[in-house]
């Protein structure tokens, strides 16, 4: 009798020592012990075949339309960095670019084998140009591009922030290395007009580049990095 009584009291103590789990704790316990209710469908051959046929009926037409649209695109690539450089300068292209006394005009002929439907977009591609380098990406001032000379802190534009003691607008390596090749197109004797409108996002034009920010003291140093900017034209236009 004493033994049974002792066993009963021991069970009561163990029961009292077990904490009562809340709803969240119980759910977490079931999740960690992988005891949550789950659905385990039986993948019969008929069910699998039906599912694949249904998905195929949806995505095969979409794929055919996408493939047709992709094949209808006419793309022409023309590399001119070799043929447009005089033969005597092909071993040292940097000296050719820096020599302002030599004309940089070059004429290339493109043969269009397929009809190109308007609008026709023109892009340029640069190789071995590491514009994702950390120092290059950080060398700019977004506040200066929006406020102009009203914003004096150009510490983020190192090393192109001052020239002859005056601030540079726009400052930084990104603006300093502005790509300065220009293009014009003709078809026979008729000149084709190239539109520069709506090539930038509206949010960038309205909130990143101020409409009253004009280039100042730009590309006036001894080392010219890229193109020049007209001080009479706002930065938001270029």
Give residue 118's pLDDT band: very low, low, confident or very high (50, 70, 90). Answer: confident
Q: Which of 48-57, 124-133, 162-171 has the highest mean pLDDT?
A: 48-57
Residue 170 lies in a domain: yes
Which of 59, 87, 114 represents a domain boundary (last residue)? 114
Residues 100 and 124 in one domain: no
In a domain? residue 8: no
Q: How open is the CA angle 209-213-217, to the nearest 5 degrees?
A: 120
Q: Is residue 5 part of a domain?
A: no
Same domain? For 212 and 183 the reply is yes
Phi-psi region of 165 (alpha: psi -120 to 50; beta: other; left: phi over 0): left
96 and 58: one domain?
no
- Are the beta carbons of 205 and 146 closer than 8 angstroms? no
**CA gap 96, 111 in Å, rounded:** 28
Burial of 91 (0-12, 13-18, 19+ CB in 10 A): exposed
Kindly state whether residues 109 and 156 are assigned to the same domain: no
Domain boundary among 19, 50, 73: 73
Same domain, 173 and 211: yes
Q: Provide the percentage of residues in the chain whose pLDDT is more than 70.
A: 85
Q: Residue 162's beta-bridge partner residues?
A: 167
pLDDT digits (tens, 9 = 90+) for 165-176: 888 888 888 888
Residue 165 inside a domain? The answer is: yes
Please tell me the distance from the alpha carbon of residue 202 to that of residue 172, in angstroms, as a whole number: 23
In the numeric block, the tokens 């209710």 are attached to 37
Contacts of 150 (CB under 8 A, 6+ apart): none
Q: Is residue 221 domain-resident?
A: yes
Is the pLDDT assigned to residue 2 strictly greater than 70?
no
Residue 188 within a domain: yes
Cα separation, 96 vs 33, in Å, equals 72
Residue 163 and residue 238 in one domain: yes
200 in the same domain as 131: yes
| CA proximity to 193, closest of 135, 119, 105, 116 | 119
| Same domain assignment for residues 222 and 138 | yes
Q: Which residue has the tokens 């195929």?
A: 56
Q: In terms of C-beta density within 10 A (0-12 exposed, 13-18 middle, 19 or more buried), how is residue 175 classed?
A: buried
pTM for this prediction? 0.57
| Residue 90 pLDDT > 80 | yes
Clarify whether residues 67 and 49 are in a common domain: yes
Domain count, the chain: 3
Rounded Cα distance, 195 and 199, in Å: 9
Spatial distance between the Cα atoms of 211 and 184, rounded to a whole number of angstroms: 27
185: part of which helix (H) or strand (E)? strand 185-187
Residue of higher predicted confidence among 106 and 100 = 106
Instruction: Note whether 178 and 105 are same-domain residues.
Output: no
CA–CA separation, 136 vs 134, rounded Å? Answer: 5
Residues 227 and 157 in one domain: yes
In terms of C-beta density within 10 A (0-12 exposed, 13-18 middle, 19 or more buried), how is residue 17 classed? exposed
What are the phi and psi torsion angles at 216 (to 5°)? -145, 130
Residue 48 structural domain = 42-73
Pair 108, 66 in one domain: no
């Amino acid at each position: 009798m004493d033994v049974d009584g002792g066993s009963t009291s021991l069970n009561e103590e163990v029961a009292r020592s077990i904490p009562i789990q809340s709803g969240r704790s119980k759910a977490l316990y079931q999740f960690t012990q992988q005891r949550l209710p789950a659905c385990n469908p039986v993948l019969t051959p008929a069910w699998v075949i039906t599912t694949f046929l249904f998905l195929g009926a949806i995505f095969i037409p979409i794929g055919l339309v996408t493939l047709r649209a992709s094949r209808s695109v006419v793309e022409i690539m023309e590399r001119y960095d070799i043929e447009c450089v005089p033969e005597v300068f092909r071993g040292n292209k940097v000296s050719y670019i820096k020599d302002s006394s030599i004309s940089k005009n070059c004429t290339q002929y493109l043969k269009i084998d397929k009809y190109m439907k308007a609008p026709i977009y023109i892009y340029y591609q640069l190789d071995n140009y590491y514009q994702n380098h950390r120092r290059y990406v950080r060398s700019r001032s977004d506040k200066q591009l929006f406020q102009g000379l009203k914003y004096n802190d150009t510490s983020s534009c190192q090393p192109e922030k001052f020239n002859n003691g005056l601030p540079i607008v726009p400052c930084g390596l990104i603006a300093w290395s502005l790509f300065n090749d220009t293009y014009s197109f003709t078809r026979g004797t008729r000149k084709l007009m190239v539109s520069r409108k709506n090539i930038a996002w509206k949010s960038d034009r309205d909130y990143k580049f101020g409409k009253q920010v004009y280039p100042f003291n730009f590309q006036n140093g001894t080392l010219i990095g890229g193109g020049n900017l007209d001080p009479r034209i706002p930065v938001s236009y270029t």
